[in-house]
Amino acid sequence: EAGVAQSPRYKIIEKRQSVAFWCNPISGHATLYWYQQILGQGPKLLIQFQNNGVVDDSQLPKDRFSAERLKGVDSTLKIQPAKLEDSAVYLCASSLGTANTGELFFGEGSRLTVL
């Protein structure tokens, strides 16, 4: 079974530039999450989708971050304009849904460096 796919793996940009990350979840997984992991910290949820609807985006800095999940499958996370403090690994995860064990399966992550 294919895992969660993410791209790009690495991205270096200057502050005030924009960047987009892509995620393809495990086939059949209805729930998709974007987490931000700053070096030395645990992952922090940015946004959660159930199919193509947003369930929780309370921690998403909406003035600069946006995310969408068209057709309930792939998702993109965009940052515009980027700030230095956005340097982090952006992890995409998917799960079958809350009715099951709720276990999240993570992708390899997209490492962003903002200069």
Q: How far is the CB of 93 from another protein (least distance, A)?
A: 8
Which chain residues interact with another protein by CB under 8 A? 31, 33, 40-45, 48, 55-56, 91, 93, 95, 97-98, 101-109
We find the least distance from the C-beta atom of residue 17 to another protein, in angstroms, to be 24
Using a 10 angstrom Cβ sphere, with 0-12 exposed, 13-18 middle and 19 or more buried, the burial of residue 29 is: middle
Bridge partners, 70 (sequence order)? none
* Dist CA 32 CA 34 (whole Å): 7
The one-character DSSP state at 40 is: T
Nearer to another protein, 19 or 95 (CB): 95
Residue placing its CB nearer to another protein in the complex, 25 or 43: 43
Nearer to another protein, 17 or 96 (CB): 96
CB proximity list for 60: less than 8 A, separation 6 or greater: 46, 47, 67
Least distance between another protein and beta carbon 62 (Å): 17
